[in-house]
Structure 1
Amino acid sequence: MKNILVPTDFSENSWNAIKYALEFFKDTPCNFYLLHVTLISNYAAGDSPIFPTDTLVEKTILKQAKSSLIKLLKKIKKLKANEKHNFYTLSNYNFFIDAVRNQIQEKDIDLIVMGTKGASGLSEVIVGSNTGDLITQVKCPVLIIPEEAVFTIPEEIAFPTDYNIFYQPNILKRISEITKMYDSAIRILHIAKKGEKLTEFQLENKDFLNDYFLDEKHSFHRITSKKIETGVQCFVESRNINLIIMIAKNLNLFQRILFKPTVEEISYHIEIPFLVLHE
């Protein structure tokens, strides 16, 4: 049984994330935990947060959240029923990251699914937001669902890397789990500047990836581009990519792809789901 945490603010993009997750894991037994966090920062006297009694929190601050979660649960149950899925509602009065960390520990969470609104560029929306804090501060896999993402079987998965990181087998195993779910092909992508050659260390890491994915559909791709995000966009369009997988440890590449794209021609951040993995 997979335990999945789905933070929600009851917006359309968080609803889209829920629908995507239900489709993505339709053949997988799952416990879905729907979490709404009423932020402590919303209740403050000047710069000082207010910490009321537990009774007051339950009767007043969380009353509306609990009501909205019940409505959300009813909305989910109007969708096609899936006997493999169980749903639970959670409401917390806390700081967002603290609330998520608590639930990860208490519920033994395997994955977080989070919707994001990316109409004007992912960096403007995620950086400094709940989603940005989540993927950089919480050591748990996060599946990010952009507001315009529509579920399609992830036949083509992009795995951008600069080969400067040795990926531990436990990380690669998580990628393999997804490729085996849908018989997906993993496309290992390297964005390089013109004339740039791989070092011996990079070549060793590339060979390791080739050996690891030997029994799975995979291929290596190199795109020459001055900007990493432009190269990713080109690859996404040319290969009809359905999912992008990133390793947070590969910090430079991770930040460039997820947090830098703001120009109009970069659209992958509002259409293609991202899976962020941590070691």
Structure 2
Amino acid sequence: MTKIRIGTRGSKLALAQTRLVEEALHACWPGMETETVVIKTRGDKILDKPLGEIGDKGLFVSEFETALLEKRIDLAVHSAKDLPQRLAQGLEILAVPERADARDVLVQVKDKLPQSPVIGTGSLRRRLYVEKLWPGAQVKLIRGNVETRLAKLADGEYDGIILAKAGLDRLGIIEREKERFHFQPLDPEEFIPAACQGIIAVEGRADWEYREMVEKLSHRKTFLSFETERKVLEVLQADCSQPAAAYSVIEPAGIERERIFLTVMYGGQESRGEWGVEERYALADVLSAQARGNI
């Protein structure tokens, strides 16, 4: 086998996620050689505007898809929540490893927020829930990587910021910075995560000769949640410019049966339900229509 070239963004979090994929590949196939190829995206270059004002989720993906199609890389590692609704022709998601903690986290310097806190986020979904849970809060734009955002919090530009727990865990920040910051995970029933938050997606060419090898890295339940939550985004036609969320959990229900519990939010309206896992797409259709129809 030739060396596998893996494309990634250059942030510490992106590199940490790529290392997880590399380690999984090496664990399955000892001696495999991999190369990390850092690619800068449009989304990495524009840091002074909310994502919804810049464009769709292709901001963090299109350069990787070009590199894949031109065979400059063999795989691309993405945060699944950054994927656009449609991938470029000839490309597929080959694997999704097991999902990390999908919750959002309120990060503060102090244990308690002031009465009218300044809370940083660049997400319309997070803005909506911040304003709902902390009436009187001033929501202020924050962009940049995790370390940049924490530095701004420490400098007093914000009273709190919202970050994804999966990213904090993958970087080891909660344990390392527990004396400096207060980390409060937010209940996903009250602060619904973004669709596919906490999931890593490995993209590659549909006709790549080693695709079946990479497919073995997938975690079955995570892949089912990935498919279901992306189906919600498809039905809602949601992107970075719209406040939307989807979160699913798959649980056993009797002998050889599983049920999927799905929550959908669109424009502040929420809808919840549970069906058999084999009916997950139909459930996504129904709940998405309910959430959208209530606006």
TM-score by length of 1: 0.31
Structure showing the higher helix proportion among its residues: 1
TM-score by length of 2: 0.29
